[in-house]
Amino acid sequence: MSDPVSDRKRVSLDRRTFLKRAGLVSAGAAVAGRLSRPGVAAAQDATVRPDPAAKRGGTLRYGVHTAPAHFDVHQSGTVANIGAQSPMYDTLLRRSPKDGQTVIPDLAWKWDISPDGKKYTFHLRKGVKFHDGADFTADDVKATYERIVRPPKGIVIPRTPLFSTVGDIVVVDPHRIEFRLTEPRPKAFMLGAFASGWNIIVRKKTLEENQGNLRQVMAYPGTGPFKHVSRKDKEIWIQERNPDYWNKGLPLVDRLEIYHMMPFSAELGAAFLSSKLDYARLLDPVSWRKAKEMPGVTAAAFNQSVIQAVWMNMKKKPLADVRVRRAMHLAMDRHTLVEVVKDTAPMQVGGFVYPFHEMSTPRADLEKKLGYQKDIKPAVQEARRLMKEAGYAQGIKGLDFVVRDANTFKLWAVAIQAMLKEHINIECNLRVVQISQWFDEVGGGNFDLGISAIVSTLMDPSDYFSAWYGKDGPQNYSYWTNPAFHDLANQIERELDDSRRKAMVRKAEDILESDPPLLPVSYEQIYDAWYNKVHGQNPSTFFGIYDVVRWDNVWLG
Amino acid sequence: MRKYLARRAVYAVVTLLGVSLSVFVILRVLPGDPLVAILGVEGHASMKPDDRVRIMADLGLSAPLPVQYVHWLGDIAAGRLGKSFFRGDTVAALIAHRGPISAEIAVLALVISWLVGLPVGILSAFKPNSMPDGLARAMSVLFIAIPGFWLGMLIVLALLFWFGYKAPIIVVHAWQDPWQNFQIVIGPGIVLGLAQGAYIARMSRSCLLEVISEDFVRTARAKGLREMLVVMRHALPNALLPVVTISGVLLGFVLGGSVAVEQAFGVPGLGRALVTAVIERDIIVVQNLVLLYAVIFVAVNVLVDLSYAWLDPRIRYS
């Protein structure tokens, strides 16, 4: 089996052959279009190619987030790592930079899924080299994924649960590897997991030499389009074009200068508006709106995989009562909460499932439900009725509300405090703490209410249903349990039919609405802006900032 | 003099040991888990107890506190200053890279404070209760009252929105590119310098008012000396002593103020590194930087004390 990218240069194409093949391809496409899985076949032939109009060369100055806390991308959960390190690495599969959604080949040029959905076989490219000159083989993929699936002691990888059904990882030959699942999972879920930007392929030798811990190893070799040049902590990471990149013709820019700047900060906005950056990610709304008005600048907003929420400690008596939690859920004026932070961070209204995901209740329908309407009177009326029914008609006093020390949370906490007081006479005392203390307090159960944000890797509910809402889930800070939901979530994980899954997710939403495990505040958006000389990147349809940050197809006009 | 120096050195060492112990203890008793910053929210949430034990041991945080403290002192004595918890960068390298920027800002602020504060103080003292004196006093109160970080933000925004200008966003040392370096340090230098200059103006005014009523000044005037000479040769040297003392104290304010002002200007100096380290709970970086600030403060105050003898020959150390 051969790698189409390496073979491409050996093929000579005369006019007659071209016409024949074009006819065959057209006929094939027409037939394939009527088959049941059109997307997969098309996606498998969609390796990123350079834009024919692209110019080569130049330096892209990109501002994104503060410096990473360590260098181990697998162990990270922040864009501080992905934003700076992703251009140096590849993944087995990736999301297309055109839409940020379609799963396309990367180091695996092709994949097969067994009919029973329990075996994923990846065909790896030949001739790929790590930056230190070593050949890339299936052993590196196995070492990488063995670490992700079964991390050694002292290594914590947030994506491990995505691969909970992966049993054996078998190297068939140096360029073919099989993942054998103990039970099947939806294909979109598994392919999305393999295409996650976090799951970069690292050398087996690198892992062995560092006892599996890369937290303090700055520039371990990757196979990616850019190579490490230098780094100044908390300032800049400079990378240069990898001349031996397997995807010939890419990358298009010669050099990347990645500047570390606080997200949503005036400093990042000022650096972009004064043209010290070509591309800025995570702009604050004020700078973003200013950038949008500037000639020669494009500004885009897109969805991020983060929910902002209030957790309620169900070990405390009043909050264990489902009616009280439902009443608090209904007492939140979510449209106002989005408005409150509109100059601090971009947000949107949503419920318990990503509001922009195909399986969730459509936004128009959601906004007809109590708790999401612009006119909150009916919701407040129902909330008061529930409080009365629960025996708290006079309200509740003295709830300890632990607030993470960040602008958005502080603004929201004050607004939520006022809403709870005004709508259902619940009085809270705000306690602002640093992020590290927040997790200590909430993790230790020393709170009544706590506001923070959590993230998922995939948009697929099966990724976060167990982490956020699962019994003993790592981010189920409310200590919430609901047997009906847990059973349903298990079924959703295993259901392979998309339409049946969708119906089950809607049913799960209903359970969450009636027995809230948390109070959804809003869902984050990301504001990017770039000068129009930057081509090849428009994240408007992306989901999150973790999957498409390679910059290999971006060019400067 | 030697005895005096030895005594001051002992006091300085005791002070610094006190500072080191305080910062060490405070950073360890403060609530909050440093592993949140290292592993992130999701990693921290999914961490097992075994993982925690292993990571804490890797970071050197599982040893008893006295052992950790002695290790730190050993690191300082060896000049290593330890490594950041997170990325493994050494604190010594951080100080070498960012220290010059903060030092330039501090020196610039001190120079500006003298260049502005002293002439204003002299003018005020020799024309007391005049219009220039009133203006000078009002301005000095204003600059003392305005928070440096707020003024810094206003300057940054004004330059950005009126001129589309922003100073360089990464460290550029004077020996690499003097002009770029100047653009980085000038803003914080002016903001910090004007605030300290206000103190110096007020202090020099009151000292001069006291000195110019002394007999020797009257004598100098009676001898027919020009007013400028009376001020520069007779009154000012005698009024400078308290101003020099307050300059030493003010350097402490400059160091403290630079933390917020560097943040406002986006200057990648030590103050900013300290803020980031506090947010990250990178306690090794925090404790070393706080100790460095304490060392500078103590050293400056010793130098100020020693300068008294030079400024006033009547003073002798024994």
Q: What would the pLDDT profile of A321-338 be if each residue is shown by its tens digit? A: 999 999 999 999 999 999
B33: contact with A, CB 8 A cutoff: yes
Alpha-carbon distance of A19 to A485, in angstroms, equals 56
A309: contact with B, CB 8 A cutoff: no
Write out the two tokens for B280: 């990250």
Alpha-carbon distance of A144 to A213, in angstroms, equals 12
Chain B neighbors of A218, CB-CB under 8 A: 87-88
What pLDDT does A64 receive?
87
Whether residues A270 and B156 touch (CB distance < 8 A) is answered with: yes
Q: Residue A251 corresponds to which amino acid?
A: P
A467: contact with B, CB 8 A cutoff: yes
Whether residues A267 and B84 touch (CB distance < 8 A) is answered with: no
Chain B neighbors of A435, CB-CB under 8 A: 36-37, 41
Of the candidates A77, A154, A435, the beta carbon closest to that of B42 is on A77
Closest CA to A264 of A272, A252, A275: A272
A68: contact with B, CB 8 A cutoff: yes
Mutate to test the interface with B, among A74, A85, A436, A472 (most CBs of B within 10 A): A436
Alpha-carbon distance of A111 to A541, in angstroms, equals 25
Of the candidates A276, A437, A475, the beta carbon closest to that of B45 is on A475
Alpha-carbon distance of A72 to A213, in angstroms, equals 7
How many angstroms separate the CA of residue A159 from the nearest CA in chain B?
9
How many angstroms separate the CA of residue A451 from the nearest CA in chain B?
13
Alpha-carbon distance of B76 to B94, in angstroms, equals 15
How does pLDDT run across A503-522, given as a tens digit for each residue?
Answer: 999 999 999 999 999 999 99
B67 CB-contact burial (10 Å; exposed 0-12 / middle 13-18 / buried 19+): exposed
Of the candidates B38, B160, B169, the beta carbon closest to that of A69 is on B38
Residues 6+ apart with CB under 8 A from A59: A253, A254, A255, A256, A257
Length of chain A: 557
How many angstroms separate the CA of residue A65 from the nearest CA in chain B?
13
Chain B neighbors of A163, CB-CB under 8 A: none
Find, in chain A, the residue whose alpha carbon is nearest to that of B49: A154
Alpha-carbon distance of A242 to A346, in angstroms, equals 36
Of the candidates B34, B44, B97, the beta carbon closest to that of A232 is on B97
Whether residues B166 and A273 touch (CB distance < 8 A) is answered with: yes
Of the candidates B44, B51, B169, the beta carbon closest to that of A153 is on B51
Write out the two tokens for A400: 């300890």
Calculate ∠ Cα A170-A176-A182, nearest 5°: 35
Closest CA to A328 of A427, A409, A405, A402: A427
ipTM higher than the 0.90 cut = no
Find, in chain B, the residue whose alpha carbon is nearest to that of A275: B164
What pLDDT does A120 receive?
97
Which residue has tokens 């500072």?
Answer: B19
Alpha-carbon distance of A504 to A492, in angstroms, equals 7
| Stretch 213-272 of chain B: residues touching chain A, C-beta under 8 Å | 266, 268, 272
How many angstroms separate the CA of residue B110 from the nearest CA in chain A?
26
- Return the number of other C-beta atoms located less than 10 Å from residue A389's C-beta: 13
Of the candidates A68, A153, A433, the beta carbon closest to that of B50 is on A153
Whether residues A259 and B156 touch (CB distance < 8 A) is answered with: no
What pLDDT does A312 receive?
97
Write out the two tokens for B13: 């060492």
DSSP structure class, residue A412: H
A67: contact with B, CB 8 A cutoff: yes
Chain B neighbors of A66, CB-CB under 8 A: 276
B171: contact with A, CB 8 A cutoff: yes
pLDDT < 70 regions, chain A: 1-44
Closest CA to B157 of A258, A365, A287: A287
The strand pairing partners of A176, in sequence order, are A123, A173
Mutate to test the interface with B, among A70, A156, A159, A441 (most CBs of B within 10 A): A156
Residues 6+ apart with CB under 8 A from B119: none
Find, in chain A, the residue whose alpha carbon is nearest to that of B266: A267
Calculate ∠ Cα A307-A310-A316, nearest 5°: 145
Alpha-carbon distance of B132 to A282, in angstroms, equals 49
Of the candidates B31, B51, B166, the beta carbon closest to that of A156 is on B51
- Return the number of other C-beta atoms located less than 10 Å from residue A489's C-beta: 22
Residues 6+ apart with CB under 8 A from A224: A86, A87, A88, A89, A90, A131, A200, A242, A245, A550, A552
Q: Cis check for the bond before A251: say yes or no (omega within 30 of 0).
A: yes
| Stretch 260-299 of chain A: residues touching chain B, C-beta under 8 Å | 261, 266-267, 270-271, 273-276
Write out the two tokens for B310: 């030079």
Asked if A413 and A386 count as a contact pair (C-beta separation under 8 A), the reply is no
Chain B neighbors of A235, CB-CB under 8 A: 169-171, 268
pLDDT < 50 regions, chain B: none
Write out the two tokens for A122: 């990846």
How many angstroms separate the CA of residue A76 from the nearest CA in chain B?
6
Whether residues A270 and B160 touch (CB distance < 8 A) is answered with: yes
Chain B neighbors of A439, CB-CB under 8 A: 33, 36, 41, 44-45
A402: contact with B, CB 8 A cutoff: no
Alpha-carbon distance of A191 to A547, in angstroms, equals 13
Chain A neighbors of B97, CB-CB under 8 A: 232-233
Of the candidates A234, A439, A474, the beta carbon closest to that of B268 is on A234
Find, in chain A, the residue whose alpha carbon is nearest to that of B272: A234
**Strand, helix or coil for residue A265:** coil
Chain B neighbors of A259, CB-CB under 8 A: 169-170
The strand pairing partners of A105, in sequence order, are A93
Phi, psi of A13 (to 5 degrees): -130, 105
B58: contact with A, CB 8 A cutoff: yes
Is residue A416 within a helix (H) or strand (E), and if so which, with residue range?
A: helix A407-424
Closest CA to A198 of A64, A102, A93: A93
H helices present in B127-269, as ranges: 131-145, 148-163, 178-211, 215-222, 227-229, 236-265
Chain B neighbors of A220, CB-CB under 8 A: none
- DSSP assignment of A301-335 equals EEEEEEEEEEEE-TTSHHHHSHHHHHHHHHT--HH
Closest CA to A204 of A253, A284, A164, A144: A144
DSSP structure class, residue A254: S
Whether residues B89 and A233 touch (CB distance < 8 A) is answered with: yes
Alpha-carbon distance of A157 to A355, in angstroms, equals 27
Residues 6+ apart with CB under 8 A from B37: A69, A435, A436, B86, B279, B280, B281, B282
DSSP structure class, residue A101: -
Alpha-carbon distance of A218 to A72, in angstroms, equals 8
B166: contact with A, CB 8 A cutoff: yes
Phi, psi of A234 (to 5 degrees): 65, 15
Whether residues A452 and B44 touch (CB distance < 8 A) is answered with: no
A39 CB-contact burial (10 Å; exposed 0-12 / middle 13-18 / buried 19+): exposed
**Strand, helix or coil for residue A171:** strand
Length of chain B: 318
Whether residues B169 and A266 touch (CB distance < 8 A) is answered with: no
Is the Cα torsion angle A320, A326, A331, A332 positive or negative in sign?
positive
Q: Bin A455: left if φ > 0, else alpha if -120 < ψ < 50, else beta.
A: beta
* Strand A297-312 relative to strand A347-348, pairing: unpaired
